[in-house]
Amino acid sequence: MNSQVLAAIVIVGVLLVALGALVKFLDLRRKREAEAVHLQAQVSDALLRDQALFGLPITPTAHVPLWSGTPVTVEVSGHVPDGAMRESVLRLVREEASRIRPDVQIEDRLSVDSAAVRAA
């Protein structure tokens, strides 16, 4: 067999393997993003269901890492009127996120602002 034909076959094989790896990577990324959206939606719904927290400008944002075994991060940002409300928000987020995934880390980005106004 000609060395050029052999080289072409090897190059095509390497390209097929690289393409397969890229497809698997993109599929894994899509699955992780869908998981983050689901977790974020569940936490947001839990915040909306709590009458004491309804109308506060609180935003949970979930980040699911690409590699399994790495904990999920839920960043909670917004304004609350007092420290007790802050603790209520963090407790609720932690409970809801842990119900879905046991390996959740909560990043507290809440600010206590006595002028925090509930949305009408």
Q: In Å, how far are 6, 9, 30, 34, 80 from 16, measured between CA atoms?
A: 15, 11, 21, 27, 53
CATH architecture of 30-112: 2-Layer Sandwich (3.30)
Which alpha helices (H) appear in the chain, and where do they start and end? 3-49, 83-100
Expressed in angstroms, the distance from the first to the final Cα of the chain is 78
Q: What is the pLDDT, as a whole number, of residue 20?
A: 96
For 116, which DSSP code?
Answer: -
Chain centroid to CA 27:
16
Q: What is the pLDDT, as a whole number, of residue 68?
A: 76
CB 38 within 8 A of CB 74: no
Phi/psi of residue 44, nearest 5 degrees: -60, -45
Q: What is the pLDDT, as a whole number, of residue 120?
A: 47
Phi/psi of residue 17, nearest 5 degrees: -65, -45
Q: Domain boundaries in the chain?
A: 30-112
Q: Which residues 6+ apart lie within 8 Å of 22 measured at CB?
A: none
Q: What is the pTM for the complete model shown?
A: 0.77
Secondary structure (3-state) at 119: coil
Write out the two tokens for 47: 């915040």
Q: What is the pLDDT, as a whole number, of residue 87?
A: 94
Query: Mean pLDDT of residues grouped by 10 in the chain (120 residues)?
Result: 89 96 94 92 93 89 86 93 92 93 92 69
